[in-house]
C-alpha cells in the first residue's frame, strides 16, 4: 500500500522536483513490480479535451495511377470495410492517435490492415491510412467535427512490397 | 500511541461475509471474459497480440527485455493464441471460483505478458482489473458463490462464514485514488470554467470516441456543460466520499449528512459510467469499473439489496 501511494504521488507532474527525486529513489527497489506485472497508479481519463482531434481514413486503389477509394472512416455508414474488427475497443486504442502523436503500434496497425485487405479483396494493390485533422466546434450547425481536409501521419503499403517481405 | 496502533490493527483485522468480494470476482470475471471472447469473435487475437507483421505486438520484437512468453514460445501467432487461451481458461475458472487463487495468479501473469507484447493495447481499465484480480487472489472471494466453496462443503471443510475485510477496503481505496488521480490529471481548460466546461461536448464530437454523429450535441450543449462540471466534481469528490463512508459507518451526529453525501456521490458516479456506456465507445471501461463498484457497499447493504431484489420480496411488498 505504501509503495502504491508513493508511486501514485504526482510530484513530477506538479513540479515538486525534490519530492519527485525522492519518489524516484524510493521506487528503485520496487520498479520490478510495475515492470513485471505491468501496473501503475497513474490514472488518466481524457486529461486533454481540446478541439484538435483526428479522424482516420483507410483508402485503397487498384494501381499506382488509379484514384484512391475510401474503404473505412468512423461514423461513415457508406464506408465500413473491416468496421467490426476496427471498432473492437478501437483495436484496444492502438490506432487512435494520442494528443501529440500516433501510438507506437501505428505502423504495425497499417501493415495489418493492408495484409487483411489484400488477402480479402484481390482488386486492391495499394492501401494507405491517414488521419484527417479536425477542429471541433460542438455548436457549429453545419459540421461540428470541423473537418479541415488536411491530413497527417500517412502510411502506405503495397501488395508487391508485402509479398516480397518475409 | 499504543491505542492508535491497536485501532489500526483492529481496523485491518476486521471480518465480514465474503459476498461483496465474491460478487466483484464474478462481475470482473464476466466483463473480462466478454472482452477476450469479443476479441476472438472479431478475429483479432493475432491482430492484437501477435508480433508484426501478423499483429500489433511490437513489444515482442522491441521490448527490453523481450517478454518471457516470447523468449519461451517465440514471436509467432501461436504465442498469441497460447496466451489468449490460457488467459481465457484462467478467467473462466476464476469467475466460477474453481481453483480461484491459482486461476487468478495465472491470469495476472498472462495478462501482464500480453501487455508487454502489445503495450499500446493495454489500456487503463486492463491495468486496473489486473490489480483488482491480484487483490482478490489474496482475499476470501472464493468463500461463497464458487465451486471451491461447494467442494469444501462436500468434503466436510466448509469455508469460513466471515473473511478478512481488508481486501475490500484496499479495493475501495484503489477506486477512490483512481477517480481522484483522473481528476487531478485533467489539465485542459475545457474541464473548467475558463474553457466553458466544454470538455464532454468536445469528446462527444470526436468521431473516434462518440457513439453517434455529432449533430445532436448543439441541442443539449448546456446539459453537457453541467455533465462536465458533474464529472470533475465526482472525480475531485472521491476523497470526500471516502470520508463520508467512514463517518456514515461510525454513526453519530455526522452520520446522516455523510449518508446523503455518500449516496449522492454514488448516484453521480453511476450516471457518469452509464452515460459513458450509452454515448461513447470506450470498450469495457464503464462495465469494468462498475464491476468493481460493489466494494463501496458493506456486505449487509448488499444482503439487503439482494433480499429486496428477490421476486418473493416484491410479491409480499405488493400485497401489503
Domain boundaries, chain B: 16-164, 165-301
Residue with cell 485487405: A117
Q: Determine the residue of chain A that is closest to B280 in CA distance.
A: A89
Contact B179, B234 (CB under 8 A): yes
Which of A43, A74, A85 lies closest to B182 in CB terms? A43
In chain B, which ranges are continuous DSSP H helix?
Answer: 2-12, 19-41, 45-49, 59-62, 68-73, 77-96, 100-117, 124-137, 147-154, 166-184, 199-204, 221-236, 238-250, 255-279, 285-292, 299-309, 311-319
> CA–CA separation, A42 vs B124, rounded Å?
9
Count of domains forming chain A: 2
The ipTM of this complex is 0.91
In A10-158, which ranges are continuous DSSP H helix?
Answer: 17-27, 31-37, 83-86, 89-93, 106-120
What pLDDT, on the 0 to 100 scale, is given for residue A35? 87
Whether residue A20 sits in one domain with residue A72? no
Tell me, what DSSP letter sits at residue B122? -
What pLDDT, on the 0 to 100 scale, is given for residue B167? 97
Contact B20, B92 (CB under 8 A): no
How far is CA A136 from each of CA A57, A149, B80, B104, B206, rounded to the nearest angstrom?
A: 17, 13, 38, 43, 8
How far off is chain A from B25, nearest CA to CA, in Å?
19
* Domain ranges, residue A21: 2-37
Confidence band, pLDDT 50/70/90 cuts, at residue A50: confident
Residues of A whose CB is below 8 A from B44: 85, 88, 91
Q: Which grid cell sits at B303?
A: 444482503
Confidence band, pLDDT 50/70/90 cuts, at residue A47: confident
Whether residue A102 sits in one domain with residue A32? no
A47 shares contact with chain B (CB less than 8 Å): yes
What pLDDT, on the 0 to 100 scale, is given for residue A43? 87
Contact A163, A126 (CB under 8 A): no
> CA–CA separation, B61 vs B184, rounded Å?
35
- Main-chain phi, psi angles of B16, to 5 degrees: -160, 165
Span A54-102, pLDDT tens digits? 999 999 999 999 999 999 999 999 999 999 999 999 889 889 998 788 9
A49 shares contact with chain B (CB less than 8 Å): yes
A140 shares contact with chain B (CB less than 8 Å): yes
B283 shares contact with chain A (CB less than 8 Å): yes
Which of B52, B123, B170 lies closest to A111 in CB terms? B52
Residue A102 lies in a domain: yes
> To probe the interface with A, which of B55, B75, B208 has the most A CB atoms within 10 Å?
B208
What pLDDT, on the 0 to 100 scale, is given for residue B316? 60
Residue A159 lies in a domain: yes
> To probe the interface with A, which of B177, B204, B206 has the most A CB atoms within 10 Å?
B206
Confidence band, pLDDT 50/70/90 cuts, at residue A124: very high
Confidence band, pLDDT 50/70/90 cuts, at residue A2: confident
In B237-279, which ranges are continuous DSSP H helix?
Answer: 238-250, 255-279
Does the pLDDT at position A11 exceed 80? Answer: no
Residues 66-95 of A with CB under 8 A from B: 73-75, 84-85, 87-94
Residues of chain B with pLDDT under 50: 320
Give the lowest-confidence range in A4-13, A137-146, B246-255, B278-287. A4-13
Put simply, the answer to whether A43 touches B119 (Cβ < 8 Å) is no
Which of B42, B58, B128 lies closest to A85 in CB terms? B42
Whether residue A75 sits in one domain with residue A26? no
Contact B57, B51 (CB under 8 A): yes
Residues of A whose CB is below 8 A from B173: 1
Count CB pairs under 8 A between chains A and B: 186
What pLDDT, on the 0 to 100 scale, is given for residue B317? 54
Residue A149 lies in a domain: yes
Whether residue A138 sits in one domain with residue A68? yes
What pLDDT, on the 0 to 100 scale, is given for residue A106? 94
Whether residue A87 sits in one domain with residue A61? yes
How far off is chain A from B201, nearest CA to CA, in Å?
6
- Main-chain phi, psi angles of B212, to 5 degrees: -125, 165
How far off is chain B from A62, nearest CA to CA, in Å?
22
What pLDDT, on the 0 to 100 scale, is given for residue B95? 98
What pLDDT, on the 0 to 100 scale, is given for residue B212? 93
Span B266-314, pLDDT tens digits? 999 999 999 999 999 999 999 999 999 999 999 999 999 988 887 776 6
Q: Is B9 helix (H, G, I), strand (E, B) or coil?
A: helix
> CA–CA separation, B127 vs B111, rounded Å?
9
Q: What are the b/e assignments for B292-307, b being 16+ CB within 10 Å? A: bbbbbbbbeebeeeee
B57 shares contact with chain A (CB less than 8 Å): yes
> To probe the interface with B, which of A8, A14, A37 has the most B CB atoms within 10 Å?
A37
Residue A46 lies in a domain: no
Q: Is B12 helix (H, G, I), strand (E, B) or coil?
A: helix
Whether residue A58 sits in one domain with residue A90? yes
Find all residues with CB under 8 Å of B11, minimum gap 6, and list them.
Answer: none
Put simply, the answer to whether B52 touches A108 (Cβ < 8 Å) is yes
A159: number of Cβ within 10 Å = 18
Question: Could you tell me how many residues make up chain A?
Answer: 166
Which of A73, A88, A104 lies closest to B120 in CB terms? A104
Amino acid at each position: 500500500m505504501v509503495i502504491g501511494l508513493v508511486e501514485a504521488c504526482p510530484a513530477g507532474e506538479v513540479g515538486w522536483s525534490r519530492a519527485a527525486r525522492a519518489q524516484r529513489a524510493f521506487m528503485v527497489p520496487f520498479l520490478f513490480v510495475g515492470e513485471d506485472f505491468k501496473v501503475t497508479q497513474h490514472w488518466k481519463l481524457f486529461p486533454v479535451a481540446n478541439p484538435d482531434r483526428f479522424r482516420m481514413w483507410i483508402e485503397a486503389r487498384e494501381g499506382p495511377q488509379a484514384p484512391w477509394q475510401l474503404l473505412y472512416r468512423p461514423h461513415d455508414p457508406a464506408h465500413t470495410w473491416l468496421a467490426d474488427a476496427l471498432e473492437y475497443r478501437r483495436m484496444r486504442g492502438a490506432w487512435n492517435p494520442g494528443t501529440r502523436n500516433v501510438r507506437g503500434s501505428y505502423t504495425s496497425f497499417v501493415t495489418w490492415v493492408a495484409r487483411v485487405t489484400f488477402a480479402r479483396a484481390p482488386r486492391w494493390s495499394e492501401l494507405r491510412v491517414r488521419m484527417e485533422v479536425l477542429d471541433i466546434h460542438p455548436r457549429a450547425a453545419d459540421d461540428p467535427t470541423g473537418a479541415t481536409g488536411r491530413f497527417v501521419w500517412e502510411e502506405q503499403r503495397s501488395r508487391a512490397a508485402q509479398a516480397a517481405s518475409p | 500511541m499504543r491505542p492508535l496502533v491497536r485501532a489500526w490493527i483492529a481496523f485491518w483485522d476486521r471480518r465480514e461475509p465474503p459476498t461483496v468480494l465474491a460478487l466483484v470476482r464474478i462481475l470482473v470475471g464476466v466483463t473480462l471474459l466478454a472482452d477476450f471472447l469479443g476479441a476472438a469473435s472479431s478475429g483479432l487475437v493475432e491482430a492484437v497480440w501477435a508480433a508484426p507483421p501478423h499483429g500489433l505486438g511490437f513489444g515482442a520484437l522491441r521490448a527490453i527485455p523481450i517478454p518471457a512468453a516470447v523468449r519461451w514460445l517465440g514471436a509467432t501467432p501461436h504465442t498469441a493464441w497460447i496466451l489468449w487461451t490460457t488467459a481465457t481458461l484462467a478467467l473462466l475458472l476464476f469467475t466460477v471460483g474453481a481453483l480461484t487463487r491459482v486461476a487468478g495468479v495465472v491470469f495476472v501473469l498472462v495478462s501482464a505478458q500480453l501487455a508487454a507484447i502489445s503495450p499500446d493495447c493495454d489500456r487503463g481499465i486492463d491495468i486496473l482489473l489486473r490489480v483488482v484480480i491480484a487483490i482478490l487472489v489474496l482475499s476470501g472471494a472464493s468463500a461463497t458463490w464458487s465451486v471451491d466453496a461447494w467442494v469444501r462443503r462436500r468434503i466436510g471443510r466448509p469455508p469460513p462464514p466471515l473473511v478478512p475485510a481488508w481486501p475490500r477496503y484496499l479495493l475501495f481505496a484503489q477506486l477512490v485514488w483512481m477517480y481522484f488521480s483522473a481528476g487531478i490529471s485533467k489539465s485542459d481548460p475545457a474541464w473548467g470554467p475558463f474553457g466553458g466546461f466544454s470538455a464532454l461536448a468536445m469528446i462527444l464530437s470526436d468521431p473516434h470516441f462518440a457513439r453517434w454523429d455529432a449533430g445532436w450535441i448543439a441541442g443539449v450543449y448546456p446539459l453537457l456543460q453541467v455533465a462536465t462540471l458533474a464529472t470533475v466534481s465526482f472525480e475531485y469528490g472521491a476523497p470526500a466520499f471516502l470520508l463520508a463512508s467512514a463517518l456514515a459507518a461510525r454513526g453519530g451526529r455526522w452520520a446522516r449528512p455523510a449518508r446523503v453525501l455518500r449516496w449522492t456521490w454514488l448516484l453521480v458516479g453511476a450516471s457518469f459510467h452509464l452515460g459513458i456506456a450509452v454515448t461513447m465507445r470506450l470498450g469495457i471501461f464503464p462495465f469494468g469499473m462498475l464491476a468493481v463498484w460493489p466494494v463501496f457497499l458493506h456486505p449487509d447493504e448488499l444482503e439487503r439489496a439482494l433480499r429486496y431484489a428477490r421476486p418473493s420480496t416484491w410479491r409480499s411488498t405488493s400485497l401489503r
